[in-house]
């Protein structure tokens, strides 16, 4: 049963028109536009790139007026550049380029890590002016030189030892990036080093085995890292990848003797994004993750794929912080040995359970630390619920989530094919439900590098050529009330029969219908769905508006399927070579709710057209016949002769 459902979700994207950006920002001097960071309150969109950091006006990124636009160039001195070029494997790696942007100091500053002549450079900029707030410095372990490395970092301002601000990174170091580690640089306050750096043991792949990091978050007393890594080799010698969440305590200073300058609190667990069945089907490769804080709970929406190659399948899963913490705090810990993995029983766990935050990690006993060092993985996995939007042939590489009152709206992206999916996700009782609202191919000329969202307004994507700004909805294209209200950003004007983007004022005005439902067709619409009339002529072809997956009826009965009927993937009904019997009332319904109702009227009598419309129809009829003969020019002229005749007849008829 699962298979049918799963493989039904093969979407025909190719061949669909793409949507153009509302606004774009370009700069000829920039090689690649990369990281996005948004301050929704200030309407400021910060963009990292190969060459500069920008502050753009999020409501119109094309506005480069003095009061809303700032550009901060990244500079590489000539001597540094030539030195870099002489050592670099690839000269493009020498260009100064951002790798990581984050807010600090209550959104007032921006922490920027860039690769400048292959040297990691840290700057702290004023959010308004992008002026340096401190002397730029070189510091390793925070961002990578090679932009294809999947690394992550997060700035934590509270909860660290001595309340020093610090970065936490999931990163690769070494000449070829051969060391994989979760790292915190030395803690410095007022120019003084308080504590040495701390990390995972990168020579032991039980800690991290070729991890590909996708995100990191500062949550309470912990920092969480999301990544995928090699879990084990299967019996065919294939390397099996699992997705993980790992957790460290911010107060951790490492052990005194054992685990010196190494996390004493590192624990990890598998993320389970799978379709349950006798043999569960796993989406094991996490690709991206987004944190959502809503009504006192923290959620992580993550995208997964079955592999990184083409012809893969993808899905979205949601993890609750409370379940992550519960499992890491109480789950059975695996003991890893050379000949396999064994979970240990609860009574073997020492006084200091691995993963517990200690106010002074130097005081944990050597014995307990020896245990912690070899018990890093929890046996059970963390459930991500039922996969959302499982789909073949795409990789959801990026995700963003808008939190509305009655639902979360997920925006998923495939960076290579440049497709965006917009999905409603809401809770009914104890059950989460989802519904695909929109899928669009984006008019972006090259691979997407990053995405960001201005809640309820726009989403942004970066690529080589620039930054593109798209509205969260295309309401005016939704031709019926039912379709309009499925989109949480739209409301229906019952007077003008028009769909428009929801605003604070139309939400409450008379004449506007606004849905209070999530993901379903609103019952409010049934009364407002008007009967449109479509006039057609014998032999013509017509197309009736529809909705994806809607059911068509004619005069209340299921539509007979005829050779002349086609239902498009968007649910439109096409009737070719209309006959008299095609007249009637056509209804398209979805989930038993009426979406469109059209009355088709068929006019006969091509021989005696009495109106311009009939005359045109007469012409079309002959043109179609001409097409059918396929012998282009000769047949065309024959048909034209007939056509003239038809016209002549019509002229005669007027004289009679
Ligand atoms: C961007 O701004 C320029 C000049 O200010 C204008 O010519 C152009 O049409 C604008 N483009 C868009 C997509 O808004
Ligand atoms: C980073 O991840 C992407 C897929 O998410 C993968 O295609 C790419 O190979 C990874 N980069 C490296 C250097 O492994
Ligand atoms: C993952 O979740 C599925 C569905 O809930 C379950 O059937 C399966 O046993 C879980 N797998 C692991 C490894 O926990």
What pLDDT is recorded for position 87? 86
Mean pLDDT value across residues 373-402: 95
Report which of 424, 405, 157 is spatially closest to residue 294, judged by C-alpha positions. Answer: 405
- Ligand 3 contact via 276 beta carbon (within 6 Å): yes
Best residue among 22, 62, 466 to mutate for probing ligand 1's pocket (most ligand atoms within 8 Å of CB) is 62
Residue 201 lies in a domain: yes
Atom of ligand 1 nearest to the CA of 22: 13
Distance 146 CA to ligand 2 centre (A): 11
| 271: CATH | 2.130.10.10
Residues 373 and 507 in one domain: no
- Ligand 2 contact via 312 beta carbon (within 6 Å): no
Mean pLDDT value across residues 393-405: 95
CB proximity list for 412: less than 8 A, separation 6 or greater: 303, 316, 389, 396, 398, 399, 420, 421, 423
Residues 158 and 276 in one domain: yes
Residues 221 and 364 in one domain: yes
Residue 6: pLDDT above 80? Answer: no
Residue 253 lies in a domain: yes
Q: How far is CA 410 from the centre of its chain?
A: 7
Whole-number Å distance between alpha carbons of 388 and 437: 13
Distance 213 CA to ligand 2 centre (A): 9
Confidence of residue 641 (pLDDT cuts 50, 70, 90): low
- Ligand 3 contact via 277 beta carbon (within 6 Å): no
What pLDDT is recorded for position 559? 85
Residue 463 lies in a domain: no
Distance 439 CA to ligand 1 centre (A): 27
Per-position DSSP letters for 160-182, written without gaps between them: SGGG--EEEEEEEESTTS-EEEE
Residues with CB under 6 A from ligand 1: 23-24, 62
Whole-number Å distance between alpha carbons of 72 and 51: 9
- Ligand 2 contact via 308 beta carbon (within 6 Å): yes
- Ligand 2 contact via 462 beta carbon (within 6 Å): no
Distance 402 CA to ligand 1 centre (A): 28
| 489: CATH | 3.30.1680.10
Residue nearest to atom 3 of ligand 1 (CA): 62
Residues 237 and 343 in one domain: yes
Report which of 156, 305, 141 is spatially closest to residue 223, judged by C-alpha positions. Answer: 156
Mean pLDDT value across residues 618-622: 61
**Lowest-confidence region among 6-20, 496-510, 622-636:** 622-636
Distance 57 CA to ligand 1 centre (A): 14
Residue 412 lies in a domain: no
Whole-number Å distance between alpha carbons of 558 and 427: 33
**Lowest-confidence region among 106-115, 186-195, 455-464, 567-576:** 567-576
Q: What is the pLDDT of residues 160-217, one digit of tens each?
A: 999 999 999 999 998 888 999 999 999 998 889 999 999 999 999 999 999 999 999 9
Residue 608 lies in a domain: no
- Ligand 2 contact via 309 beta carbon (within 6 Å): no
Last residue of a domain, one of 530, 561, 596: 530
* Total domains present in the chain: 2
**Whole-number mean pLDDT of the chain?**
87
**Of the ligands numbered here, which is closest to the C-alpha atom of 467?**
1
Residues 252 and 353 in one domain: yes
Residue 88 lies in a domain: no
Residue 1: pLDDT above 50? Answer: no
CB proximity list for 347: less than 8 A, separation 6 or greater: none
**Of the ligands numbered here, which is closest to the C-alpha atom of 416?**
2
Confidence of residue 646 (pLDDT cuts 50, 70, 90): very low
Residues 361 and 221 in one domain: yes
Residue 592: pLDDT above 90? Answer: no
Last residue of a domain, one of 383, 410, 440: 383
Residues 375 and 480 in one domain: no
Domain range for 483 is: 474-530
Whole-number Å distance between alpha carbons of 410 and 318: 11
Residue 286 lies in a domain: no
Residue 532: pLDDT above 80? Answer: yes
- Ligand 2 contact via 106 beta carbon (within 6 Å): no
Residue 221 lies in a domain: yes
Last residue of a domain, one of 321, 352, 383: 383
Q: What is the pLDDT of residues 332-385, one digit of tens each?
A: 998 876 666 667 766 788 889 999 999 999 999 999 999 999 999 999 999 999
Residue nearest to atom 8 of ligand 2 (CA): 148
pTM (2 decimals)? 0.86
């Amino acid at each position: 049963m699962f298979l049918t459902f799963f493989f039904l979700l093969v979407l025909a994207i190719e061949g669909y028109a793409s949507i153009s950006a509302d606004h774009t920002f370009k700069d000829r001097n920039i090689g690649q536009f990369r990281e996005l960071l948004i301050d929704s309150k200030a309407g400021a969109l910060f963009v990292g790139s190969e060459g500069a950091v920008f502050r753009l006006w999020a409501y119109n990124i094309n506005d480069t007026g003095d009061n809303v636009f700032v550009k901060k160039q990244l500079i590489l001195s000539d001597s540094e550049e030539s030195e870099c070029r002489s050592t670099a494997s690839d000269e493009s790696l020498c260009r100064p380029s951002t790798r990581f942007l984050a807010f600090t100091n209550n959104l007032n500053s921006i922490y920027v890590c860039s690769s400048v002549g292959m040297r990691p450079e840290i700057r702290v900029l004023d959010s308004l002016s992008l002026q340096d707030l401190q002397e730029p410095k070189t510091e390793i372990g925070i961002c990578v030189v090679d932009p294809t490395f999947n690394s992550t970092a997060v700035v934590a301002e509270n909860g660290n030892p001595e309340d020093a601000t610090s970065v936490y990174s999931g990163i690769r170091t070494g000449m070829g990036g051969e060391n994989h580690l979760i790292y915190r640089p030395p803690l410095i306050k007022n120019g003084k080093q308080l504590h040495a750096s701390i990390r995972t043991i990168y020579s032991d792949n039980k800690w991290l085995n070729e991890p590909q990091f996708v995100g990191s978050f500062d949550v309470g007393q912990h920092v969480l890292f999301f990544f995928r890594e090699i879990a084990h080799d299967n019996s065919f010698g294939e390397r099996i990848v699992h997705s993980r969440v790992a957790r460290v305590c911010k107060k951790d200073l490492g052990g005194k003797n054992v685990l010196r300058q190494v996390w004493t609190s590192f624990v990890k667990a598998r993320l389970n994004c799978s379709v349950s069945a006798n043999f569960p089907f796993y989406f094991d490769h996490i690709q991206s993750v987004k944190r959502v804080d809503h009504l006192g709970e923290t959620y992580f929406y993550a995208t997964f794929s079955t592999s990184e190659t083409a012809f893969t399948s993808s899905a979205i899963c949601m993890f609750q912080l409370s379940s992550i913490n519960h499992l890491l705090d109480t789950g059975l810990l695996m003991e890893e040995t050379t000949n396999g993995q064994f979970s240990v029983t609860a009574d073997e766990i020492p006084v200091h359970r691995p993963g517990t935050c200690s106010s002074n990690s130097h005081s944990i006993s050597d014995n307990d630390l020896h245990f912690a060092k070899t018990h890093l993985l929890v046996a059970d996995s963390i459930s991500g619920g039922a996969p959302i939007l499982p789909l073949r042939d795409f990789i959801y590489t990026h995700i963003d989530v808008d939190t509305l009152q009655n639902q979360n709206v997920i925006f998923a992206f495939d960076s290579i094919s440049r497709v965006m999916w917009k999905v409603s996700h809401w809770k009914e009782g104890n059950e989460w439900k989802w519904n695909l609202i929109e899928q669009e191919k984006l008019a972006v000329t090259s691979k997407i590098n990053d995405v960001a969202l201005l809640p309820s307004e726009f989403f942004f994507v970066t690529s080589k050529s620039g930054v593109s700004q798209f509205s969260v909805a295309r309401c005016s294209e939704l031709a019926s009330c039912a379709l309009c209200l499925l989109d949480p950003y739209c409301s229906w004007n019952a007077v003008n029969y028009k769909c428009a983007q929801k605003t604070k004022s139309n939400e409450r005005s008379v004449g506007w219908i606004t849905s209070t439902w999530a993901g379903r067709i609103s019952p409010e619409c049934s009364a407002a769905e008007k009967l449109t009339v479509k006039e057609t002529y014998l032999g013509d072809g017509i197309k009736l508006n529809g909705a994806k997956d809607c059911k068509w009826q004619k005069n209340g009965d299921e539509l007979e399927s005829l050779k002349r009927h086609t239902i498009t993937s968007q649910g439109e009904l096409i009737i070719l070579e209309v006959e008299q019997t095609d007249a009637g009332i056509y209804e398209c319904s979805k989930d038993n709710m009426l979406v469109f109702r059209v009355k088709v009227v068929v006019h006969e009598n091509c021989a005696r057209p009495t109106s311009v419309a009939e005359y045109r129809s007469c012409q079309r009829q002959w043109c179609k016949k001409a097409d059918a003969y396929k012998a282009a020019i000769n047949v065309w002229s024959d048909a034209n002769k007939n056509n003239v005749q038809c016209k002549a007849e019509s002229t005669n008829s007027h004289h009679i």
